[in-house]
Structure 1
């Protein structure tokens, strides 16, 4: 009965040739069928006992709030300007004050559930980990990652096998061990040389820090570093940066409403496809080179160890998930996730040191007392430098480079805190809200490293401090990131003092929201110590 109105439209095609008339009638029928199916799905989703939230629009759901300024609700910050996502984490935190710590939005007809305080996030990702550890099959994720690798792969036996092996292989090449320390210290020599080129002048730290962090990943993954002027290396970093910019474009996320948009020859989809293709081509060449020079008795790096494991698996299991293609996606995860998050955390630390010279001086005084200015720092120094560690932790808390975490998906319909969460719902743990919760953090918007100190000589552990996430899918690179952050931060402040190049124009601390939360570009004046 719902399709009778379609039949009334068919006579409109009566004046057309028979073939065109049939085609138009078929298209009208198909369009009507899809429309009614969408409305039925949308009605069922809205009418269930789902968490409360702002009223969605048909077809778009609440997606329009991300694309059109001023539609986030009265008194809310606009989330978008000219299609570019601005501060969704802040808007979502504000919405939680109206709708509660568990509330919902819709992307099209798909339910999105926001978790906005620590106890709720912990209950979902730890207590209900088996239900909320999957990844959403959003069109953007599928097109870019093919749901392979470590970060975006579905939760299950294949993911567990790949993560277990990858973590073991990374540990073999120094993850969490002092043996990796030498690579990080060696890379800092190039950072220092680049900064010294500018003398006491103004310098943009973004490319220097990004080069260094990427090279540390390269040394683990490929067994070598690249010169900062290497043409291919510069091209790779440029591609990654451009990919992040596309991630800031709200129009790109329309593909999650209409997956076929990805195949249209229009920006930003055309550019995104080019970025993905070129990054894959670069990594495929390196994997191919490793395959040709592979020595089973002398694995040089993570890529070698994975390729050797692929060969072992082929002999025992023809259906193994270990193959050269899967390696490509794991290395992509290491590069994109490992480089962007750590780079931006270090950049936030330089910005806050420039804004808070008293904190910078206190960190430098601790460095001088424990290490001095001649020898390089070691991870063994960390236990003797509580204020330095507290400062890094405060940068992670207030900067929160992954404010909405990596989205999860409900693998089955479940009841959570009295609400029905349908299978396939997307789950966003709002880590920004967790780390700015005034019930946990006194004056949460203030930069105050002492909040992580118990007395003056001991770090105060806070359960709600979860910059790397929590639960089964906690960041695999947590140990590497902690090593990089400590050694690079201490090296920088041991060697230089930083200050803003233009004190009259301080960059906004709201940052730029993309795949991660990056500082707005800034220059610093550096002086050697």
Structure 2
């Protein structure tokens, strides 16, 4: 029979040994890392740093007092809705003011490196692009995306082939070319008709703008557009927006710690699973219809081109990554990411114009001077409309529609600005902080389009303006987004003057943080010009 005292001593020694190992491992891990709050063994400090850190709370309070956090702008009235609790891009920006432009947090024992100024972001994503172009395997993202597509797929040969094909095929169907102009201008006719139905009454612009942007994507990917009253189409757009919002729900984030939670039959897990199923059914039905009607001599759109390429690839390599399953994830990336980002930017533009009538008037004066009121805009007009272009850029700077970019991962241990970044570290480029940096942008929290113009009123190209990100994983749809934003924005202000209803309270300009930063719900008045 064992001596109970000896057993207790052995257990205590084992516990002390384990504790010593954890502490020594933590010390080794912290050596050379960027500064940051001290992590707890096993659990790290991510949630603690963002929620409980008194320094962060104090910094945030000071920022509010100094009006550095966005609140309602322009016009009269109080804010209609409270700001979102603890939006992560603002909390991380506050931490940067304490720990510096590069700092570290821990999710468990995994380092999370936050890059908060342009130099840090450029050094990592451009100067060391091969090291910082991978994606971390985040359980929630992996469960939904299966780590396929072009947005969340890991960096490597498969991703490079898929992205190269996707980009060249989208260019074939008009990406970055004037051949896509007529489709965008044609879609605006439907937007105009929908807006005119409301006369001088206030209305919700969200569904109209979302439908229009989605249809431009659909014209390239599906060779069709959907009527704004199409029940299935309307449902898909609502599901997309809801899914992006739910995916960052505080309970949903727990899936990254315990993946099995995703399958629980309770809110929000059940809701997100159903959204995933519904969007999957919608897109796979479209792919199946394309397969049934595929004509190798006359490819109609992106799906047809992909299916034909996949058939050719399988003749050469039966293990090729070009499959209908992979096509689904690429189409989902195009449909969801392309629609949500551009539609939110256009909605922000309408909100800012309604709250800044003087800037709106200047844009309209430039439109009349260059285009007039009858001719539709073209991309050729862009070079002669610097204030309009500057206004769009200022909206993008103020709102940074993907404020924390998409996380990267260090594929090997490296040194970044004197700090050791261990292999496997998650990298968060804080694009919000970059675009609100007072060292770069004078009075960064003020809406001031002229900051993008020189003394002669000509557009200034600033390398620090990176709303689409930089590096090897820069947004694939950047050129499409720029085309849509210019042509739609100009068309809207050419035909309407937008006003914020006097009897309504302004929404918080902090917006609603999901994967993208969307404006909070608002109504608007569109007066026909």
Per the TM superposition, whether the score is higher than 0.5 is: yes
Matched position secondary structure for 1:428: strand
- What is the root-mean-square deviation in Å for CA atoms of aligned residues? 2.7
- Give the distance between the partners of 2:264 and 2:27, measured in 1 at CA: 31
1:423 offset after TM fit, Å? Answer: 1.1
Q: 1:200 to 1:191 in 2, by over 3 A?
A: same
The residue that corresponds to 1:17 in the other structure is none
2:56–2:94 contact (8 Å) kept in structure 1? no
The residue that corresponds to 2:251 in the other structure is 251
- Alignment TM-score, normalising by the size of structure 2: 0.90
1:187 offset after TM fit, Å? Answer: 0.7
1:42–1:58 contact (8 Å) kept in structure 2? no
1:416 offset after TM fit, Å? Answer: 1.6
The residue that corresponds to 2:74 in the other structure is none
Instruction: Show the 5 A alignment for 1:182-261.
Output: 182-261=182-261
The residue that corresponds to 2:73 in the other structure is none
1:260 offset after TM fit, Å? Answer: 2.4
The residue that corresponds to 1:342 in the other structure is 342
Q: Name the stretch that deviates more: 244-253 or 208-217.
A: 244-253
1:46 offset after TM fit, Å? Answer: 4.7
1:65–1:72 contact (8 Å) kept in structure 2? no
Are 1:54 and 2:54 an aligned pair? no
Q: 1:338 to 1:384 in 2, by over 3 A?
A: same
1:335 offset after TM fit, Å? Answer: 1.2
Residue deviations 1:64-106, cap 9 Å, x none?
A: 348857767341449xxx9x76421111111111111110111
Q: 1:70 to 1:119 in 2, by over 3 A?
A: closer
Q: 1:114 to 1:41 in 2, by over 3 A?
A: farther
Instruction: Show the 5 A alignment for 1:29-68.
Output: 39=22, 43=26, 46-65=29-48, 68=51
1:53–1:105 contact (8 Å) kept in structure 2? yes
- Alignment TM-score, normalising by the size of structure 1: 0.90
The residue that corresponds to 2:274 in the other structure is 274
Are 1:478 and 2:461 an aligned pair? no
- Give the distance between the partners of 1:400 and 1:207, measured in 2 at CA: 21
Asked which structure has the greater RCO (Cα within 8 Å, sep 6+), the reply is 2
1:104–1:113 contact (8 Å) kept in structure 2? yes
2:93–2:433 contact (8 Å) kept in structure 1? yes
The residue that corresponds to 1:366 in the other structure is 366
1:366–1:385 contact (8 Å) kept in structure 2? yes
Matched position secondary structure for 2:508: coil
Matched position secondary structure for 1:105: strand
The residue that corresponds to 2:163 in the other structure is 163
- Give the distance between the partners of 2:231 and 2:429, measured in 1 at CA: 39
- Give the distance between the partners of 1:143 and 1:181, measured in 2 at CA: 37
1:38–1:109 contact (8 Å) kept in structure 2? no
1:449 offset after TM fit, Å? Answer: 0.6
- Give the distance between the partners of 1:66 and 1:230, measured in 2 at CA: 46
Residue deviations 1:384-425, cap 9 Å, x none?
A: 111100100111111111111111000011122222211111
- Give the distance between the partners of 1:280 and 1:44, measured in 2 at CA: 46
Matched position secondary structure for 2:420: strand
2:32–2:419 contact (8 Å) kept in structure 1? yes
Matched position secondary structure for 2:58: coil
2:56 to 59, 73, 87: 73
In the alignment, structure 2 segments of 5+ residues that lack a partner are: 9-14, 62-81
The residue that corresponds to 1:18 in the other structure is none
1:67–1:85 contact (8 Å) kept in structure 2? no
- Give the distance between the partners of 2:491 and 2:229, measured in 1 at CA: 23
1:493 offset after TM fit, Å? Answer: 0.1
The residue that corresponds to 1:127 in the other structure is 127
- Give the distance between the partners of 1:508 and 1:431, measured in 2 at CA: 20
2:26–2:41 contact (8 Å) kept in structure 1? no
1:275 offset after TM fit, Å? Answer: 1.1
Are 1:400 and 2:383 an aligned pair? no
The residue that corresponds to 1:490 in the other structure is 490
1:42 offset after TM fit, Å? Answer: 6.9
Aligned residues: 502
The residue that corresponds to 2:89 in the other structure is 89
Instruction: Show the 5 A alignment for 1:375-454.
Output: 375-454=375-454
Residue deviations 1:328-377, cap 9 Å, x none?
A: 00011001110111011101110110111000000000101111111111
The residue that corresponds to 2:519 in the other structure is 519
- Give the distance between the partners of 1:250 and 1:66, measured in 2 at CA: 15
1:501 offset after TM fit, Å? Answer: 1.2
Q: Name the stretch that deviates more: 405-414 or 496-505.
A: 496-505
1:201 offset after TM fit, Å? Answer: 0.3
